[in-house]
Chains A and B, each alone.
Chain A
Amino acid sequence: MTTAPATGPAPGRRRRRRATANAVGLVFSALMAFPLYWMLLTAFRPATEIHADPPHFWPDHLTLEHFRRAVDTPTFWANVRSSVLIGVGTVLVSLLIGTLAAFALARFSFAGRKALVLVILGVQMVPLAGLIIPLYLLLSDAGLTDSLVGVILTYLVFMLPFTVWLLRGFIAGVPVELEEAAMTDGCTRLGAFRRVVLPLLAPGLVATSIYALVQAWNEYVLAYVLLSSNDKQTLSIWLLSFQTSFGTDYGGLMAGATLTALPVAVFFAFVQRRIGAGLTAGAVKG
């Protein structure tokens, strides 16, 4: 370093360092991606090759037999329906309620605002598993066990804080002058919200709803406790059906895992940037 004070390390050494970094980065990517690769490979290869010893690391023959078996399990389509209904229901209700609260937090100063912010941040820390017992008792009093509505209600509360928090950031990003201009021009507050804020909020709404959808799609414990009929259970619970006391059907399990992961993975890829920023809001400027 002392030999080249102005230009930094010699170009040759810098290039070599870059190459090493690239190589390490690619090796890391390969290691991280391997479990996903192995899932897909197992899902698409015939049973004889799944149980090959030594294992083959490249695809030889591809088959859809595991997917066929997974889709043909008696409750598959019912479970897909449950997952979709619960996911969409949670998203719609939490967006509806959450946008109102987010708007209040972003645009008004009122007594108790700070307390609400602290509650909303703190609530995200309450472990779901700790609340299963009283939630179960509450819903069983209300006659909502083994009902999709009951599950949506409970998910709602765990999604709502994050929805409000994320949307608050997006609303705060819309200049308040735009809204005021609209109101000067004769819009009501609601009209200004609908015509000015809402269109600009669209990306935030999309990001938030996908995050809530993914969370609802992935949740397991509450759905497992609250839903007792097989045909009402969600895909996360359905995945466990490939493990029996006689052993695990890994071909079917990996095909099921692929089917469960695919829709959320595609959605998620579009919005991960905003989600990450939302979880650590304020930590990263810009």
Chain B
Amino acid sequence: MGTVELPGPPRAAPPPHRPRTARAPRPRRTLRRRLLPYLLIAPTVLALAAVLGYPLVDLVVLSFQDMTRRELFSGAPPPYAGLANYRSILTDGFFWTVVGRTALFTVACVAATMVLSLLVALLMRRVAPWVRTVMTGVLVAVWAMPVMVAASIFRWLSDADYGVVNWLLGLLPGLDFSKHNWFEDPWQGFAVITGVVVWGAVPFAALTLQAALSQVPAELAEAALVDGARPGQLFRYVTWPVIKPSAVLVTSLSAIWDFGVFNQIWLMRGGQPEKEYYLLGVYSFIESFAVNRYSVGAAIAVVTVLMLLVGAVVYVRQLVHLGAAE
């Protein structure tokens, strides 16, 4: 700031080009001014178009073709297949099983994340400051964990032979969990995967909701209590309206992230997930890169993106609604 208000003597003299711009015809100057923002956004737009827009279009085109290993390596254009790929996946019962499984998994993860995070956020407003500091510290540390690290840890915790989870459950009367393999039954396996996803998702959600809760005016809450509001009513009529925008954003973001889960499953199943562990992301990947049916994989990916658009629309609408996009 100081450098701006106190230009040194050399800079006090008008720069040589300044009078020239003043004399220049007005239309040219406004044209330059009008062009400037476009020049500034050009690199970003170009990069997005080349490495995101083009692949997205290519993905759709590919889903209408029949690309196999042969075309991939020879570079020959793959023959058109029309709607055959879509027909084959949409009439395949297994595809719908995977869709249902993905939806169920997403709902379970998002519900667990949001309920837990809201409880934690409410709790953080009640505890002593030093306890809040401890909680924040732990949440930030967990938030910072790379996904692959988190998945590795949970794999170790749920290990069949030496996993600490089996040992702890074995302490409960009447339960024998020694050598229990959590991944034999996909329901139990997905419970572990849900665990690692929720563990990783709670910090962002809880800290965001906590920040939103701190915006609830204390006088308003007190006034409601004086007027005889019960805690449930206080939450519903005073707290919730304030934190709702944040809650909607966090929910839609979590839904989008959980719907596309890939890494946790990939690592927990050692890079070779069984069919019972396919979610849409894993399914599309395996069709493409393990079975070499690239076009079927692409069709699955297109369907996935379309389904995700629902969550994306909610997220973007909420941001626009809040005026953040202005």
Contacts and interface: CB of A to CB of B under 8 A. Distances in A.
A21 B325 contact: no
Interface stretch (B83-91, B104-112, B129-137): B129-137
B285 A284 contact: no
Contact of A38 (B142, B147, B156, B301): B156
Interface stretch (B12-20, B22-30, B183-191): B12-20
Given A101-B43, A129-B285, A133-B298, A28 B52 contact: no
B40 A160 contact: no
Contact of B146 (A113, A189, A217, A282): A217
Nearest to B33: A108
Nearest to A42: B156
A282 B322 contact: yes
Contacts of A26: 131, 134
B323 A269 contact: no
A127 B305 contact: yes
B126 A18 contact: yes
A133 B215 contact: no
Contacts of A1: 225, 228
Interface of B: 1, 3-5, 7, 11-15, 18, 34, 36-38, 40-41, 43-45, 47-48, 51-52, 54-56, 58-59, 62, 72, 120, 123-124, 126-128, 131-132, 134-135, 138-150, 152-157, 159, 161-162, 164, 167, 199, 202, 204, 207-208, 211-212, 215, 225-226, 228, 245-246, 249-250, 253, 256, 259-260, 262-263, 266-267, 270-271, 281, 284-285, 288-289, 294, 297-298, 301-302, 304-305, 308-309, 311-312, 315-316, 318-320, 322-325
A203 to B, nearest CB: 16
A195 B138 contact: no
B40 A186 contact: no
A176 interface: no
Main secondary structure, interface of B, reads helix
B13 to A, nearest CB: 8
A221 B323 CA distance: 35
12 contacts: A25-B127, A32-B142, A51-B161, A101-B45, A104-B41, A127-B259, A185-B11, A220-B267, A239-B149, A254-B156, A276-B208, A283-B246
A187 to B, nearest CB: 8
Nearest to A113: B37
A104 B37 contact: yes
Contact of A280 (B154, B250, B263, B301): B250
Contacts of B4: 178, 181-182, 185, 187, 195-196
B59 A133 contact: yes
B55 A138 contact: yes
B11 A33 contact: no
Interface in A151-206: 153-154, 156-157, 160-161, 164, 178, 181-182, 185-189, 195-196
B99 to A, nearest CB: 14
B51 A153 contact: yes
